[in-house]
Amino acid sequence: MPDLTYGIFVAGGVYIAMLVVIGFLSRRARRESTLADFYLAGRTLGPFVLLLTLFATQYSGNSLSGFPGQTYREGIAYYMSVTFMVGIVTGYLLFAPRLYRAARAGGLVTPSDYLAVRFRSPVLNYLSATIFTVALLNYLLAQLMAMGHATAGLTEGRIPYWLGVIGGAAIILLYELLGGMRAVAWTDALQGAVLVGGLLLAVGLLILEIGSPAAVLRQVAAVAPQKIQSPSLPLCLLWLSNFLLLFLGAPLYPQAIQRIYAARSLHDLRKAMATMALLPHVAITTVVFIGVAGIALFPVADGFNADQITFKVLAYLVDHQPLAYVPVIVIMIAVVAAIMSTADSCLLSLSSILTKDFIGRARGLDGADELWLARIAPLSSISIMLLVTAVAVRPLSSLWGLLVIKFEILIQLSPAFVFGTLHDPDDPGGYRSRDVLAGLIVGLTIALALYGTGQRQLYGVHAGVVGVAANYATCWLSHRLRGARAVPEPVA
């Protein structure tokens, strides 16, 4: 196989230089020193940047290396990943229209800002901010660790894991401090473009080398027929459970909600969202195809982990296709781009939650003190990045185990947004904070108890989905009972 390291160093250097240049350009575009300008790009994102930043944020490094790995393990039943990625966009329909309107009317910056305006409960504010923080810390930590592994793998150890983590973290921090959300969104646009380009190149090369999807499936049927079998009942239940988990949980990621807040207009937001609903058919089908091609090329995982199948397939292409050298390097840079674009969005959201939801609310600051909060926002980003980088360099397995449950707890905030956006804050018939808190406590307790006792799935249904079902039921019941008690006696 030709040595890719030189090409990766050159392409990686150009890519990093472009990120830094974008950081400086976005700094020049800053308009004012406010939280909305730093964390939401002054609510000026147009449809194209919005689409690419939504895309790059939602498709992490896991989508490019984890999904093909899962397909390689489970077979084409992992087409379910296309379904649940569409489900994320469908999930927005439950609350995003009202959330966007509330964000415009109330100048909201963080997801907890909405809950503060809607429910006026300090307990719910702090609890939701804590849940968002735990979910995001996990995500950021996972991305930094993936960056360390990716750089070490791509450079064949010339850049060690720890240097990949620290270097990647430093670059992200640099452009984020320079331009805030504007820099993150603009670099996401570059990263999204590299990602789409890389995926399309991968599919084109694979079809050239090993044939059409139908031809590849014929090979799979010959070498591993169990990988195209009809899914079993537990697998179908897992399919729906995965869908529900992503449908209810993923739209609640703070970085996704903040992109709704950051849209320039509803017209732009709708265009970006509608396009996002169609993208999984291109992007995720492509990564599933890479996994299926991996089964055809390497029916037995001999001496490698299934999650490395993307790189195994790329190495095969370089060996067999003289034209593949440059495209494969683009694809490899796309993997790093996917990781960085998710990490930078997580960092920015974490910073906003620390600054606004914890520091701002603890000090009782109101709108007049926003200038002070905007000044400490970069310090929040630096503190968070230092902390997470330190953990990523020497990950503690016990901490990692705790944080893996991000979705199981994040999804428990779903009723607060879905039921919350059914009514205006002053509507006497609307849901109250006690309804939402009761559901949240029941849902969290069930999800964590199931998880803690090793029952991550019940008959294929995730612990978090069981918890959120109880959460919704409790919330609804509490609301109904209160409504029944509040009915006045009929006057004779």
Residues forming contacts to other proteins in the complex (CB under 8 A) are 76, 79-80, 82-83, 86-87, 89-90, 93-94, 96-98, 101, 212-215, 217-218, 221, 228-233, 236-237, 239-240, 243, 247, 265-267, 270, 273-275, 277-278, 280-281
In terms of CB distance, is 230 or 397 closer to other proteins? 230
In terms of CB distance, is 38 or 247 closer to other proteins? 247
In terms of CB distance, is 42 or 180 closer to other proteins? 42
| Alpha helices, H only, 211-324 | 213-223, 233-249, 254-262, 266-278, 280-297, 309-320
* 3-state secondary structure at position 93: coil
In terms of CB distance, is 30 or 104 closer to other proteins? 104
**Identity of the residue numbered 157:** G
Neighbours of 222 (CB within 10 A): 10
CB 230 to other proteins: min, Å = 4
What is the Cα–Cα distance from 183 to 172, expressed in whole angstroms? 10
* DSSP one-letter string for 416-475: HHHHHTTS-TT-TTS--HHHHHHHHHHHHHHHHHHHHTT-SEETTEEHHHHHHHHHHHHH
Question: Which residues, in sequence order, are bridge partners of residue 462?
Answer: 457
Residue the block writes with tokens 């944080």: 403
Phi/psi of residue 20, each to 5°? Answer: -65, -40
CB 223 to other proteins: min, Å = 15
In terms of CB distance, is 92 or 139 closer to other proteins? 92
Q: Six-digit token pair at 167?
A: 């270097």
Give the HSE-up count for residue 223: Cα atoms under 13 Å, Cβ half-sphere.
17
Q: At what angle do helices 161-210 and 122-154 cross, to 10 degrees?
A: 70
What lies within 8 Å, CB to CB, of 258 at 6+ separation is 39, 40, 109, 110, 111, 181, 348, 349, 352
CB 286 to other proteins: min, Å = 14
What is the Cα–Cα distance from 142 to 315, expressed in whole angstroms? 25
Number of H helices, E strands in the chain: 24, 2
What letters, b where the CB count within 10 A reaches 16 and e where it falls short, cover 448-463? bebbeeeeebeebbbb
CB 206 to other proteins: min, Å = 15
What is the Cα–Cα distance from 276 to 262, expressed in whole angstroms? 16
CB 448 to other proteins: min, Å = 27
In terms of CB distance, is 44 or 255 closer to other proteins? 44
* 3-state secondary structure at position 84: helix
In terms of CB distance, is 33 or 229 closer to other proteins? 229
What is the Cα–Cα distance from 259 to 277, expressed in whole angstroms? 16
**Identity of the residue numbered 170:** A
In terms of CB distance, is 101 or 480 closer to other proteins? 101
CB 270 to other proteins: min, Å = 5
CB 217 to other proteins: min, Å = 6
CB 89 to other proteins: min, Å = 6
CB 331 to other proteins: min, Å = 24
CB 97 to other proteins: min, Å = 4
In terms of CB distance, is 82 or 129 closer to other proteins? 82
CB 429 to other proteins: min, Å = 17
CA-based angle 30:336:73, to the nearest 5?
140
464: left (phi over 0), alpha (psi -120 to 50) or beta: alpha
In terms of CB distance, is 167 or 430 closer to other proteins? 430
In terms of CB distance, is 67 or 239 closer to other proteins? 239
Residue the block writes with tokens 């606004």: 356
In terms of CB distance, is 88 or 146 closer to other proteins? 88
CB 308 to other proteins: min, Å = 25
